[in-house]
């Protein structure tokens, strides 16, 4: 009886002579386009607050429970958007959102003191904060020939790479063109300046004093590169 009564009540509510809204309240279960087919065509706005459209154009700001989309870009937050909880963004330029969070250009993600931004084939790593802004520290990129480039503001410490939990595996070559380290096929070659009297020592024509000076220069270079204690 209850279900029959509900069906009749709904039928009455959907009669053409009954108003669609009463004041600001949608009185019918839904209003729909004539061609509405769920998940296929048309549109519907439902009394329970849900809706479905085929295409949607928004002229302004689109706010969600944990995101905001506006003319500056797309911004995603950890919970309700507010100061200090921006976790990701997709923008064309860097700036500050409406809550005072500093964001980066391109597709970016944020931690408490670190951030990463990817754009144009490069991944750039930053330190800083949402409140104070970000400073670029390192960039990773790949050339058209497949060569991996890593540049860092304060240089790269090889010891840190080699002590990673799974080690450092290199299938190709690692090279530092300017003068630091050159690694080929598992052999490490240190690009150091030749010590004094090097040629004479190699040719076997060096005096004892020249050999001593050569060894001294070599030991100094190794020590400066922290390869000797």
**Cβ atoms 228, 222 nearer than 8 A:** yes
Sorted by sequence, the CB contacts under 8 Å of residue 128 that are 6+ apart come out as 102, 113, 115, 134, 135
* H-only helix segments in 77-227: 158-162, 198-203, 208-224
- The sheet that has 44-46: what strands, in order across it? 30-32, 44-46, 51-52
Measure the CA–CA gap between 200 and 125, rounded to whole angstroms.
47
Q: Tokens 């990129």 label which residue? A: 141
Distance CA 210, CA 208 (A): 5
Q: pLDDT tens digits for the chain (229 residues)?
A: 556 665 555 544 445 555 666 666 776 778 889 999 999 999 998 888 899 998 888 889 999 999 999 999 999 999 999 999 999 999 999 999 999 999 999 999 999 999 999 998 899 999 999 999 999 999 998 888 777 888 888 776 655 665 666 666 666 666 655 555 555 555 555 567 788 998 998 899 999 999 999 999 888 887 876 676 6
**What's the pTM?**
0.62
| Six-digit token string for 176 | 């530092």
User: What pLDDT was estimated at residue 53?
Assistant: 93
Q: Do 33 and 45 contact (CB within 8 A), yes or no?
A: no
Domain range annotation of the chain: 2-52, 62-142, 159-190, 193-229
Phi, psi of 224 (to 5 degrees): -65, -30
Counting beta carbons within 10 angstroms of the beta carbon of residue 66, is it exposed (0 to 12), middle (13 to 18) or buried (19 or more)? middle
Please name every residue paired with 52 in a beta bridge, in sequence order, or none if there are none.
44
User: What's the pLDDT at 179?
Assistant: 52
Closest to 183 measured CA to CA, from 195, 194, 169, 197? 169
What is the C-alpha to C-alpha distance for residues 9 and 86, in angstroms, rounded to an integer? 48
Q: How high is the pLDDT of residue 151? A: 84
Using only C-alpha atoms, what is the Rg of the chain? 33
Cβ atoms of 102 and 117 closer than 8 Å = no
């Amino acid at each position: 009886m209850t279900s029959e009564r509900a069906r009749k009540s709904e039928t009455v509510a959907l009669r053409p002579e009954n108003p669609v809204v009463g004041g600001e309240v949608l009185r019918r279960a839904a209003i729909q386009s004539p061609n509405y087919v769920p998940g296929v065509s048309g549109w519907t706005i439902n009394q329970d607050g849900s809706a479905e459209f085929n295409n949607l154009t928004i002229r302004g700001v689109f706010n969600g429970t944990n995101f905001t989309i506006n003319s500056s870009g797309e911004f995603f937050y950890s919970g309700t958007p507010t100061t200090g909880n921006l976790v990701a963004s997709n923008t064309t330029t860097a700036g500050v959102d409406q809550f005072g969070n500093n964001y980066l250009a391109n597709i970016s993600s944020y931690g408490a003191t670190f951030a990463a931004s990817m754009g144009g084939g490069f991944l750039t790593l930053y330190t800083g904060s949402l409140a104070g802004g970000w400073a670029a520290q390192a960039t990773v990129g790949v050339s058209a020939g497949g060569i991996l480039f890593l540049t860092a503001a304060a240089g790269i410490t090889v010891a840190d790479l080699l002590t990673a939990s799974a080690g450092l595996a290199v299938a190709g070559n690692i090279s530092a063109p300017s003068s630091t380290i050159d690694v080929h096929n598992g052999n490490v070659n240190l690009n150091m300046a030749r010590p004094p009297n090097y040629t004479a020592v190699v040719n076997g024509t060096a005096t004892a004093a020249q050999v001593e000076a050569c060894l001294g220069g070599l030991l100094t270079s190794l020590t400066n590169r922290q390869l000797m204690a």
